[in-house]
Chains A and B, each alone.
Chain A
């Protein structure tokens, strides 16, 4: 399983765009990149998943360069309610049941 590295913490202000980058230098050809969000005292919640280029949904965008050795989760115009821990995971079907959650990135959004 590819190991991921992401910043331990980030601060932002309401209304700003936040970009969280995850490094996964050993990503395999069949691996997908998935991001989860976790609020205090709640279970993680799926945000977005991608394989290459750009993926966008109602919550976030995911940018993946051609070499796929990193990915960037982009949160547009954050609010206080976006304060959470964000986890980057790399894997493929068949590895299910072995999702590796690292320490994640704690995002603190300030007023």
Chain B
């Protein structure tokens, strides 16, 4: 979805390096998420944010940190990259419909392919 962009699209780094993956959205959504995907596996949630002042850990947050700089921007950092963090990383957004009972739709970016040597 062109409304959710991720930079860089591909990145190669070395063990121990600090790197940042960035996500921007023009959908005006309050909620943003970071997932990782490994070959043959589904997506796993790393962190999520329901608004600028709200940050929550997902199921695999160890080794990662995030920053919600603005409603439109949500960055994921690997403080000291390790090889098992090699994966495809996706950012997603969703809109909060206060009165809607259903599970709201998440809109995903194109992904960042990260290789840690």
Give the chain B neighbours of A104 by CB distance below 8 A. Answer: 42
A49/B103 contact (C-beta < 8 A), A43-B1, A43-B111, A101-B42 known: yes
B108 touches A45 (CB 8 A): yes
> Closest residue of chain B to A95, judged by CB?
B103
Give the chain B neighbours of A87 by CB distance below 8 A. Answer: 42
Bound-complex Cα distance A61 to B42 (A): 23
Q: Say whether A46 faces chain B, with CB atoms less than 8 Å apart.
A: yes
Minimum CB–CB distance from B38 to chain A (whole Å) comes to: 11
B40 touches A93 (CB 8 A): no
Query: Could you list which residues of chain A lie within 8 angstroms of chain B, going by C-beta atoms?
Result: 30-32, 34, 41-46, 49, 51, 87, 89, 91-93, 95-104
B100 touches A93 (CB 8 A): yes
Minimum CB–CB distance from A42 to chain B (whole Å) comes to: 6
Give the chain A neighbours of B45 by CB distance below 8 A. Answer: 97-99
A46 touches B106 (CB 8 A): yes
Give the chain A neighbours of B74 by CB distance below 8 A. Answer: none
B101 touches A101 (CB 8 A): no
